[in-house]
Amino acid sequence: MWVVSWAFWVSQTALLPFIVGAILSYLMLPLISLLERYANLTRWLAILIVYTVGLVVLIIALVTIIPMLLRQFSQLTQIFPDLPGIIEEQTEVLADWYEGASKDIPEEVRMPLETAVMNAINQIFVSLEENLMGYVQGGISFAINTLFQLINTVGFLLGFFIVPIWMFYVMYDSRKGEYALDRMMPTWLRRDFWAILRIIHHTISNYFRGQFLLGVVVAVGVWVGLIGLNMAGFKVEFTLLLAVFAGICELIPYIGPILGAVPAVAVGFVDSPTTAIAVAVLFLIVQLLENNFLVPRIQGDSVGLHPAVLMVMMVVCSSALGLVGIILAAPISAVARDIFLYVHGRLSEPPRQSGVLPWEWSQAEEQESAEPDESVSVGDTASSVGS
């Protein structure tokens, strides 16, 4: 066991393509199962169709979206050195407007407020001038160096070409793998083992599919909205880059929409304070539409955690895993809660029925009271994890 763990640790860079491939296989398995079930296709043909569609989408992205994103990112990095000066100019415009609008405010109220605001603005400018370019250059250098280190690894290149074939076999024989794992389990452990896997699968798949769909909708909505602002006479550059960033930030609970709006508002402020306000209003409208119409239908209460609990878990997970921890905080917390409820139910007196998940308890109790207990085949339980 220690030798296997050591081998995995030493070859973690070379195994990165297989980790990505395992995640992609997990995401594609439901589509393959749907094609098998409703289109009456063989499994290999369903995999081939999903592969083909994915390849077409990838080619379209590489030809159209990716070059545009790289071009806009390059243009954005070019204006970073001038950004503090541009913001200072727009702040002076805003200050002139405020001076004309604040004549009716008593001086004893206005002067302390102006002093506090100007001190805060000066501190922001100093921080921007000292740290902004360092952060940007450091981040770009780190990303480029990491990318070249990965590419220069022979194992990574070998894995990159092998992974598509490996993914095909994983998806084609996934059910055989489940049944083989099932036969290795002791009889007394099988139902509990598959129940815990079903908890993990149910929470993670529902959460990330919902978040991904919301992210795509938000990105498209922001992109269309920013183009509309440009057509209305406002000047907002880097529309696609800002929209994609806003969509990615949707993966972060609660604070993600705010983080996604900050760069867009800052870019709008480069043009004028009025443009910044228009961009902020656009993001507010997108979030209102999302929260009132999309979230209840797409995601619902996917994790069922109180915001106060989730915010604490975000801090805890971020300290251990960084940005990845912030993104995974919600599903990790929900999985931990549901596993605790399941284990507690199994250890309570009288124990809950094995293989029945916490959200299925009430239905199972009604069935038990209505009819005799019927055993559930472990093969059905195992196959429900991969579908």
Q: How open is the CA angle 330-335-336, to the nearest 5 degrees?
A: 100
Alpha helices in 102-238 (DSSP H): 107-127, 133-151, 154-172, 174-184, 187-231
Task: Give yes or no for a cis peptide into 350 (omega within 30° of 0).
Answer: yes
Q: Which residues of the chain fall below pLDDT 70?
A: 1-14, 80-88, 90-111, 113-114, 117-118, 120-160, 297-303, 364-387
Q: What's the whole-model pTM score? A: 0.72
Q: Which two tokens stand for residue 225?
A: 């909205």
Q: CA-CA distance, 228 to 278, in Å (whole number)?
A: 11
pLDDT of residue 292: 82
CA distance 220 to 226: 10
Q: What is the pLDDT of residue 207?
A: 85
Instruction: Please tell me the predicted confidence (pLDDT) of residue 377.
Output: 47
CA–CA separation, 73 and 76 (whole Å): 5
pLDDT at 225: 96
* Torsional sign, CA 136, 137, 139, 144: positive
Q: 182, 207, 208: which is closest to 197 by C-alpha?
A: 182
Is residue 375 left, alpha or beta, with left meaning phi > 0 and alpha meaning psi from -120 to 50? beta
Q: Are 379 and 179 in contact (CB under 8 A)?
A: yes
How far is Cα 269 from Cα 264, in angstroms, rounded to an integer? 9
Q: Give the largest CA-CA distance in the chain.
A: 82
pLDDT for the residue 241: 92
In contact, 224 and 240? CB cutoff 8 Å? no
For residue 164, whether the previous peptide bond is cis, meaning omega lies within 30 degrees of 0, is: no
pLDDT at 151: 52
**Structure confidence at residue 55 (pLDDT):** 85
